[in-house]
Structure 1
């Protein structure tokens, strides 16, 4: 994944006059808010920048999303809406500066191979990741054209508030505003997707990283019940915050501006200044480990909050109690989740015994976790142990535990692992976090994640083959609930390993599974 600023996302990065030239054949659909004109591109109808809620600014700043007001005439839906305010990760804040003053953040985009109320196609709604601090549906890696055209599905992407705007615990504001935005987008899908050729009774949410964590949270909240029938969670992150921890982090963000963490104090603060305050807190997390614990060690300032209202309990507890029993689940992770971060942080080849021991003491489960890891992986050197425990704590075991909680409660889950190693950049990334994104969308030549694949012909051919397997599985699951391999059970643990030759095996990370078998992923607390 490149550290450069993101490239423009197709015809136009944000709303405005950009977009394809108008044609008499451009599709027009009627929504509850008014008429929309899209465009025909690459064999599908595309509608961009459709508002699903009022802009969350002014009197609506830090409020739950409000239904969008209607419009007269035909609204052009040909350019992506502006992104919500972004953190500075990977240069994403440059997009926020470019779109400054355009506050219509809450928009959806639709790709349909057959727009019209009679098509009845499966619907796939993407929730992007980005550590709950970055993410925009208009990025080129999330272009839904190929998935829609070749998979015979309607693809929907949308923006939701991130960082302080979406997840800070503020006095006078509802918690988890980013999740409430997601629910509002799914309500828009329920109420209007039929006009775009979709079947509102066959909706699959799919997402990666923070998007997968968001879906796990949606499974746990009654507010999202009935809005989707299937869910695909790619690399579910384990961290969810207790309210006290989230409130303390929010207070630190407000303190950067010499303000209180209240709606009254922050409503009139420029969104770019508020995002910068969040960045400043994130950059100083190493000074706060005694108070904030593991999130500070991993530079994580925001996550969904188990507030008891929007999110009553953690996803693992909720699914274990049957909350997701009526939703079919496809869940998995990559084999080498941590490798992306090891490379980005300049640690590849530089993890010594001391750093590995610190990671094992901090992140391994149980009071004797370090010794148990070393016993379970006797041939592993310091770097491998470091990457194993981080991969397990952050993504691999939270994903597996979500599937196990679902099946224990009588629900259905299919499990996978991406084992194919990224060939780009000399192959140093392996089967790392984020590699699944270009494979799922089939966008192997655009967006930052495509750099993991590279431009060599043989690498691109391998990626095309693996991507075809993955896309076929995802769209088959969306269509009828069967991705092509048996559902997970506690005895056989069938797991699809996606590689150049996909195979179904018992869950392959057995040593890690046993180490984490008795661990509960609880909300992370404020320590002092």
Structure 2
């Protein structure tokens, strides 16, 4: 008879499963369900239980547009299918008996609108086989996680992440991990949450290293976040307060959010450049939970004791322009160059810098720069200025000509969950891409694991003079930062909290 592994956590015993050479625990509750009176509150520590709880399947996703559980239609959150019990995490361990393996805690992206740790592309088994304990979690998104609501704490989704990190500190030793050697890593919205965690007092001491992948540079002022939440609540005919919004089930809030997303460009003269992004949510610099946006805080020395690995893909915005209907219209291009560039003549600036590019290609480069690439580069500069150790990377390899080295490709390579067969089947795959992907994936994963283990990814630290960068192509190289043209355009710009431009 096969005996499955059991681990005693602070709250109770969980039973996992051996899957080949990795032990997996799925759906461990790290906080009480955010339902009823707890719905818009800070996460509440999980209550102790007696007996043994199976941890064999992923917990239900947090409320989001793609969620079909009955909690989506329930105001109280008390439902029969258990779908309100969504604040769960998962652990992959290569050796439960190990003495202090490095721990890597994954914070998934999803435009602050989606988050589901059951995503098969975020399976931690491949990373765990490299000698680390891997943790992933569900955290609240959308209105429930990131809207500014009167009577509720800001940044509830990040507070969930902090609760999960506290769980790691209290329990990961039992899974073979070292609580003193925790690395947080995340992509897109997850990467921006990590940049926020670096400067949040509540997160101090919960991790030793951080990897931020393709972080969007959008952090909201209280005024801007309030204006956005007020507009979403107005779709329902109410105010953005706990009392008013608690009367509606999560599906009503996701529907109201979707309605606002469709007309966000109409608000650009009031909400500023964030109105041209795919999401109405971002972390809120409220002066308390998140004291301020991360760039100046890091430059002033916050998190100087945290090792930081940061970077982006080469063709970040291609993910969006390559989608059906993603080709920019003349109106979209005009709005982008009017509102996103660091110059009053944004169109002329990019036309001069990229003379051989088409207008659509310049639109793509601009959005890549403003939303992902330059915020990441400037965060590296800020961390160096503050005295912290920082390393920079760029993913330049791609497997198809349509998407290039697009947003989100990096984490597929790190986890190793994009197979050669999937690459080979793509209609515009490069001839040798199916053979190259295993090689590129192995290089990136080894560097991430080396960084998580000892803070040494394998190349020289970043400094603003040499701008040493690890560039991942079919063969990785170490060279000066490759996006020098865009760097010069943005060299005098100061990324900071985005504020409301005008009252509506």
With normalisation by structure 2, the TM-score equals 0.94
Match among 70, 81, 96 for residue 115 of structure 1: 96
Provide, for residues 330-389 of structure 1, a one-character-per-residue CA deviation record: whole Å limited to 9, x for no partner: 0000000011100125244x666x654442222111334333222222222212211111
Bigger mean CA deviation after superposition, 46-55 or 367-376 = 367-376
Residues 251 and 447 of structure 1: is their aligned pair in 2 closer, same or farther, counting only changes over 3 Å? Answer: farther
Paired position in structure 2 for 1:57: 35
Paired position in structure 1 for 2:126: 146
How does 1:420-459 map onto structure 2 within 5 Å? 420-423=397-400, 427-445=401-419, 458-459=432-433
Provide, for residues 376-421 of structure 1, a one-character-per-residue CA deviation record: whole Å limited to 9, x for no partner: 2222221221111100000000000111100011111110000001
Residues 458 and 380 of structure 1: is their aligned pair in 2 closer, same or farther, counting only changes over 3 Å? Answer: closer
Match among 487, 493, 502 for residue 476 of structure 2: 502
Secondary structure in 1 matching 2:322: helix
* Counterpart check, 1:263 vs 2:237: no
Distance 2:430 2:278 in 1: 34
* Counterpart check, 1:102 vs 2:83: yes
Secondary structure in 2 matching 1:344: coil
Is 1:241–1:305's contact at 8 Å kept on the other side of the alignment? yes
Is 2:60–2:85's contact at 8 Å kept on the other side of the alignment? yes
Paired position in structure 2 for 1:10: none
Is 1:65–1:181's contact at 8 Å kept on the other side of the alignment? yes
Provide, for residues 460-489 of structure 1, a one-character-per-residue CA deviation record: whole Å limited to 9, x for no partner: 321111100100000000000011111001
* Counterpart check, 1:375 vs 2:356: no
Is 1:325–1:412's contact at 8 Å kept on the other side of the alignment? yes
Paired position in structure 1 for 2:251: 272
Residues 457 and 189 of structure 1: is their aligned pair in 2 closer, same or farther, counting only changes over 3 Å? Answer: farther
Secondary structure in 2 matching 1:525: coil
List runs of 5+ in structure 1 lacking aligned partners: 1-22
Is 1:435–1:452's contact at 8 Å kept on the other side of the alignment? no
Is 1:466–1:499's contact at 8 Å kept on the other side of the alignment? yes
How does 1:266-415 map onto structure 2 within 5 Å? 266-344=245-323, 346-348=325-327, 355-415=332-392
Paired position in structure 1 for 2:113: 133
Bigger mean CA deviation after superposition, 58-67 or 245-254 = 245-254
Paired position in structure 2 for 1:11: none
Distance 1:339 1:77 in 2: 38
Is 1:120–1:198's contact at 8 Å kept on the other side of the alignment? yes
Is 1:25–1:40's contact at 8 Å kept on the other side of the alignment? no
Provide, for residues 165-202 of structure 1, a one-character-per-residue CA deviation record: whole Å limited to 9, x for no partner: 00010010001101100111000001110000000010
In the TM superposition, residue 57 of structure 1 has moved relative to its aligned partner by: 0.8
Distance 2:109 2:253 in 1: 20
Moved runs in structure 1, 4+ residues, more than 4 A?
A: 94-101, 446-458
* Counterpart check, 1:254 vs 2:254: no
Bigger mean CA deviation after superposition, 314-323 or 376-385 = 376-385
Residues 405 and 80 of structure 1: is their aligned pair in 2 closer, same or farther, counting only changes over 3 Å? Answer: same
Distance 1:168 1:31 in 2: 32
Secondary structure in 2 matching 1:49: strand
Provide, for residues 410-448 of structure 1, a one-character-per-residue CA deviation record: whole Å limited to 9, x for no partner: 11111000000132xxx2000000111210101114999
Residues 511 and 469 of structure 1: is their aligned pair in 2 closer, same or farther, counting only changes over 3 Å? Answer: same
In the TM superposition, residue 300 of structure 1 has moved relative to its aligned partner by: 2.2
Residues 367 and 315 of structure 1: is their aligned pair in 2 closer, same or farther, counting only changes over 3 Å? Answer: same
Paired position in structure 2 for 1:217: 196
With normalisation by structure 1, the TM-score equals 0.90
Tell me the C-alpha RMSD between the 2 structures.
2.3
Is 1:140–1:447's contact at 8 Å kept on the other side of the alignment? no
Provide, for residues 489-525 of structure 1, a one-character-per-residue CA deviation record: whole Å limited to 9, x for no partner: 1111110110111101100001111111111112111
Distance 1:448 1:137 in 2: 21
Paired position in structure 1 for 2:500: 526
Paired position in structure 2 for 1:418: 395
Distance 1:57 1:28 in 2: 29
Distance 1:450 1:104 in 2: 39
Residues 291 and 355 of structure 1: is their aligned pair in 2 closer, same or farther, counting only changes over 3 Å? Answer: closer
